[in-house]
Amino acid sequence: MSMTSPESSGRRWAILGASTFSFVILMMNFSVYPVVALEMAKELLLSNTQVGFLMFIYGIFYAIAQIPAGAVADRFGGSKLASLSVTAFGCVGVLFALSPNYSWAVLTRVLLGFSSGFFLPATMRLLPRWFTTREYDQAMGVFGAGQGLALTLTFLSVPLVALTLGWRAGLLSVSGLTLLCAVLSWSVVREARGARHQPSERVPFRLNRVITKQLIILTSFNFSTLAVFSGIVTWAPKFLTDLVHLPLIQVGYVTAIIGVMNMAGSYFGGLFSKKGHGAWVVAISMIICVVSPPLLFYAQAPLAALAVIALVGWGTMFYFAPTFGGIPSAVAPEYTGLGFGILNTISFVGSSITPLIGGVILDLTSRFDLAFLSISTIALFGLVCSSRFKTNNR
């Protein structure tokens, strides 16, 4: 569904802006943990494996929430579900910041992952109703840039807060911003009366209308990029501290380049995809995701590390617009939310396992080259599938 009046046009871009801001907050909650993980580990006496497990358990329960969230969004609409999700993970984030021990941290990461898992399926159900085929990939490029903005804000501001007031204050600062976003979300992100969601017509459910070949291909891209993104964001700070010998503040500045390049990659990926070059956009992203993690190990000079981390930032979001823009055409229209839920469920397996595998490898061998190579190997899945990608023709 697309709106054509000036009022509706302004409304849809306002909805995109509010949704993007909420996505920024979601990704700040995702990325803030790696920023404070080293200081948190010192206070709570956590091993590398336990540090990785806290990232892993978040991703697993984030994934578990995706399919039911997509089904609910298909049935009842996305706006209220998205707002409820932001409210819930804002509250749970406060509890995580108060963790007195490892067990409490695990429990709150479970709740944080599950509550935040309802946001994207709801949003992916909401946004396609407001943009034409021509505009949708570009809209996804804008929306995806929120991830980069989130990382930039997190890695530039939270290390300073954490060093000044402690890691708990760093977490609380993000949770406070999340609760503010929840207030705005309830007041802004609403479907207008003219486009109010109508419950999907009850039709016989057929699995092949949801799990299609195209959806599997799209899933491989998201799986691979999230594996690389999560693995690098989790372990790059430790790599920069241990082998590049940078202090925490400078680690934050260097890692923030991922966010800057995420923004640029997502935006330009949307522009190129809008012009019909989506297949090339995805292929370039997949190549970068495979080659950049091993390169990082050999980039032990600050400028070299900065360059490779910038490459990671570009590669892990350049794919976003043609991939997410392709979801509405990959599944039957009445199952858009469920289709996205399936995609993200499988994708977050990749996001979950790379921090855990990296932590285990570092505990057993202390070798970053093996940890980064494991991330690269997982990303081969997307590279192989990229040859079969068809540009969105929704």
Q: What digits encode the pLDDT tens for the residues 158-207?
A: 888 888 899 999 999 999 989 988 887 776 555 444 444 444 455 555 66
Q: What is the mean pLDDT of residues 319-342?
A: 79
Residues contacting residue 108 through CB under 8 Å, at least 6 positions apart: 92, 95, 96, 99
Q: What is the pLDDT of residues 253-280, one digit of tens each?
A: 888 888 889 888 888 988 888 788 889 9
CATH code for the domain in which residue 356 is found: 1.20.1250.20
Q: What is the mean pLDDT of residues 106-129?
A: 85
What angle is formed at CA 262 by the lines to CA 342 and CA 254, rounded to 5 degrees?
125
Please indicate whether residue 20 or residue 191 has the higher confidence score (pLDDT): 20
Dihedral angle computed from the Cα positions of residues 284, 118, 75 and 324, in that order, rounded to the nearest 10 degrees: -10
pLDDT over threshold 50, residue 225: yes
Is 196 domain-assigned?
A: no
pLDDT at 166: 92
Query: Which of 7-11, 71-75, 131-135, 174-178 is least confident?
Result: 7-11
pLDDT at 251: 84
pLDDT at 233: 85
Residue 365 amino acid letter: T
Q: How far apart are CA 263 and CA 354, in angstroms?
A: 23
Percent of the chain scoring above 70 in pLDDT: 87
Is 276 domain-assigned?
A: yes
- With beta carbons less than 8 A apart as the criterion, state whether 336 and 287 touch: no
pLDDT over threshold 50, residue 53: yes
Q: How far apart are CA 45 and CA 235, in angstroms?
A: 18
Is 119 domain-assigned?
A: yes
Q: State how far the alpha carbon of 279 is from the alpha carbons of 12, 54, 136, 204, 247, in Å.
A: 27, 35, 16, 33, 40
Q: How confident is the model at residue 23 (pLDDT cuts 50, 70, 90)?
A: confident
pLDDT over threshold 90, residue 351: no
Is 169 domain-assigned?
A: yes
Q: How confident is the model at residue 285 (pLDDT cuts 50, 70, 90)?
A: very high
Residues contacting residue 48 through CB under 8 Å, at least 6 positions apart: 238, 359, 360, 362, 363
Percent of the chain scoring above 90 in pLDDT: 33
Q: What is the mean pLDDT of residues 206-231?
A: 83
This model's pTM is above 0.85 = no
pLDDT at 206: 61
pLDDT over threshold 90, residue 230: no
Is 325 domain-assigned?
A: yes
Residues contacting residue 114 through CB under 8 Å, at least 6 positions apart: 61, 62, 64, 65
pLDDT over threshold 60, residue 143: yes
Please indicate whether residue 17 or residue 371 has the higher confidence score (pLDDT): 371
Q: What is the pLDDT of residues 305-314, one digit of tens each?
A: 999 999 999 9
Containing domain of residue 380, as a range? 7-190+208-388
Is 230 domain-assigned?
A: yes
pLDDT at 69: 83
Q: Residue 132, SS3?
A: coil
pLDDT at 93: 93
Tokens representing 369? 């080259």
Among 353, 225, 376, smallest CA distance to 293 is for 376
Please give the tally of structural domains in the chain.
1
Q: How far apart are CA 320 and CA 305, in angstroms?
A: 24
CB atoms within 10 A of CB 139: 25
Q: How confident is the model at residue 2 (pLDDT cuts 50, 70, 90)?
A: very low
Tokens representing 374? 């494991």
Q: What is the mean pLDDT of residues 336-348?
A: 78
Q: What is the mean pLDDT of residues 61-89?
A: 82
- With beta carbons less than 8 A apart as the criterion, state whether 254 and 305 touch: yes
